[in-house]
Every structure is written in C-alpha cells, then in structure tokens.
Structure 1
Amino acid sequence: MGLPIRLLPVTILAVMLLLTVKLGDIWQDVTRLGPAPLAAQQQQPNQPAQQPGQQPAPKAQSMPVPNSAAGGKDGEKPIDPILFSRSEIELLQELSRRREELDQREQTLAQKEGLLAAAEQRIEKKIGELASIRVDIESLIKKYNEQEEAELQRLMKIYEAMKPKDAAAIFNNLENEVLLQLLERMAERRVAPILADMDPKRAQQITSEIAARRQMPKLEEAAKQ
C-alpha cells in the first residue's frame, strides 16, 4: 500500500505544471488578440469561443434540399420504405402491377378504337360506292324499260295495222309474256278480231292470263289495306 501514497504527490505536481503551461498559453493568446477581439466576443456571446490557432469557420452556404429529403413539395416528411411492413410492400407491388395492367388495357382499347374508326371509314366509303352503283343500275334499268316500252309500242302499232287473220297467225307462235304485253297495249276493238282468228286453245289460255293479270293489282291493293 506504500506505492500509491508515493505516486499521489507526483501526480499533483504534474497537474499543476500542466495548468501553469495552459495559463501561460492562454495569456499569450489574449495579449496577441488585443481588446478588439475581446469586444467582438462580448458582442456575440452566443457564438462559441474560437480555439487558439483555429481557422475561422467559413459561413455555411445554403444548399438546395431535394424534395425527397425535404419531404416533398408541401414540406411533408419523406416516406421511408424501411417503415413499411411486408404486407404493405406486397400490397403496393400488387397495386403497381394492377396499374400497369390498366395502362396496358387502356392502350389496347385505344388501338381497337383506332381500328374501329378506320373500319367505319372504309365501310362508309363502300356504302358511298354502292349507292353510286345503285344509282347507275337504276338509271340503266330505267333506260332499258324505256327502250322496251318503245319497242312494244312500235310492234303494237304494226299488229294493229295488220289484218286480224295475219296477226292471229303470228300470235299463235309468240311467247306468252310478249303476247300479253302486246295485247294489253292494243285497243280492245283490235284485240277481239285477232283472238277470234287465233287457235281456240291458245286464245282461251291467253284470255285467262289477261284476266288474272288484271285481278293482281286489285289483290295487291286489298293486301295493303
């Protein structure tokens, strides 16, 4: 136990020597700085005292803080992914996947709408072409009917000018449709002598068909009513 007692005076002596050296250094710094720095230090009590031999700290420049670190545009705190639980992360991943599917579906619908619009344009073009063709066909049919009517009127005048016996010989060999059209356009006073000179069976057949054709318009009118 004698060793610690002997070291105690030596330790105290060393501490006093260090304090003496420190006090001497501080006094030299105060003498070098003069009264002006002391006054400046008194005016700014909140600033920390500058260590001897330390360079003055430069003024901190304001650096822009990114939104992610500053908490976004509204000053909110940034979201730390570490704070999410596993279920929340899986939910976010599922929502992200669904969002991608919806975007893909929206693109597909947009493409289909474009295809439908193009198809509608082609259909409208075809309808216009068909309408033009229909007009042309109707014009041709009208022209054909006019030519046919003119030809029937010419033949009707020829047969009316013929003798009934000569006309009857020709009518016996004509097709029913052509013969009926001619007889319908001829005057009744011209038709009677021709039918009298025709073959009796042929004349009977033609007479029955003429009567049936005259009844058809009446039946059509009754059906419409």
Structure 2
Amino acid sequence: MSRRRKRSRRAGRGASSTIALLLLLSGLVRLAEGVGPAVARGIVNADWARAEAEAAIPQVCDSDSDIRRTLQILKDRSAELDAREAELAQRTQTLRVAEEEIHLNLAALQKAEASLQATLALADGAAESDIDRLASVYQNMKPKEAAAVFEQMDATFAAGFLARMKPVAAAAILSGLSSEKAYAASVVLAGRNANVPTQ
C-alpha cells in the first residue's frame, strides 16, 4: 500500500521535473526561432543593399559630381551598416537578458522542487509513522475487537495493517473475520509481492 504510494509520488515528481525542463527548452527554441530568421533576413537584405550600392558606384570617377555621388553612396551604406549592427547588438542583448531570466527561473524552480521533495519526504515519514502506530494499536487490541474493526475495512486497507503486524497477532485477527473478508485480505497479502522479479 505505502510502496505503491511512494512509487506514484516519485513518478509524479519525476514527471513534473521533466515537464518543467521541456517547457524551458520550448521557450529557448521559440526565442531562438524569433532571432534566427531576423538575422537571416538582415544578412540577405545586406547582400542586396551591397549589390545595389556597388552597381550605383561609378567604375571611374571622372568628375566632381561622380566623386560626390560615390562618397554619398558610401556614407549611406556606412550608416545603413551601422544601423544594422546596432539592431543586431540590441537583439543579442535581448537574447542575453532572456537567457539570464531563464537561468534565474530554472534556479528558482529547482529550489522550489527541492523544498517540495523535502516536504513530501517529511509527510511520507509522518504518514508511515502514523500507520505503524495504528497497526501497533490494532495488534495490541483483543483479537475479537480488532476483527470487528477489520470486518468494516476494505480488504486492501486491512491487508496493509495485517502486513505490519506480528504473524501471531495477524492470524488471531484473521481468524475472527468472516470467511469472505479473511479470504479477500489474504489474497491481497499474497499478491503484494507477485510482481517482484525473481531473477
């Protein structure tokens, strides 16, 4: 009874950690997807702009107007490259800030998970202690009185208590149960380790 509960709790904790990690990775992928295409577009646009600028620059500057025109094209191109560089720097900074936030959130999540596991371990220990104490109470009752209580219990629940008792006390209680209830509890007790590997 308690082993199954522990296994299901451990599985639940592992599942919640896995889900949190998947959500974190999903966020990083989405963030990267937003930046990647933008950077690619910037590179393609820069190539087109460079080709247009090179086509507009005269091959031979014969006059002052050609020189002025060439200088203006180069200034415009330089300003455009500066703007693109600033935009990429801003995007890089945004990505860096987002990455720092993700690391902080992950650290907080790990701390909360550790705290939750400690709390669950305390709760499990307290529950086990309570069940052991109650099993001891039933064991020390008169078998006839304990049997009357066990007769009202679910067979699985009753088997959990019987398994914690000394065999002599458990046998005395079982003998006081109806045949149906004693059989049901015995089947549960016998089946508790049925799935344990033998090799």
CA contact (8 A) 2:132 2:164 kept: yes
CA contact (8 A) 1:152 1:181 kept: no
1:82 corresponding residue in structure 2: 63
Matched, 1:163 2:131: no
Mapped to 1, the partners of 2:159 and 2:81 lie a distance apart of 73
| 2:63 partner amino acid | I
CA contact (8 A) 2:147 2:173 kept: yes
Mapped to 1, the partners of 2:100 and 2:113 lie a distance apart of 20
CA contact (8 A) 1:153 1:185 kept: yes
1:213 corresponding residue in structure 2: 192
| 1:144 partner amino acid | A
Matched, 1:195 2:170: no
Deviation at 1:104, TM superposition (A): 2.5
Deviation at 1:182, TM superposition (A): 1.3
2:100 corresponding residue in structure 1: 121
Residue range with higher mean Cα deviation, 151-160 or 205-214: 205-214
Give me the TM-score of the superposition, normalised by structure 2: 0.58
CA contact (8 A) 2:162 2:170 kept: yes
Matched length: 140
2:19 corresponding residue in structure 1: none
Mapped to 2, the partners of 1:213 and 1:98 lie a distance apart of 79
Matched, 1:180 2:148: no
- The percentage of aligned residue pairs carrying the same residue is 27
| 2:143 partner amino acid | P
**Whose RCO is larger (CA < 8 A, sep 6+)?**
2
Deviation at 1:170, TM superposition (A): 0.5
Unaligned runs of 5+ in 2: 1-59
Secondary structure of the residue aligned to 1:104 is helix
Judged with a 3 Å threshold, the aligned counterparts in structure 2 of structure 1 residues 214 and 90 are, in CA distance, closer, same or farther, namely: same
Deviation at 1:97, TM superposition (A): 5.0
Deviation at 1:91, TM superposition (A): 11
Secondary structure of the residue aligned to 1:149 is helix
Deviation at 1:111, TM superposition (A): 0.8
**RMSD between aligned alpha carbons?**
3.2
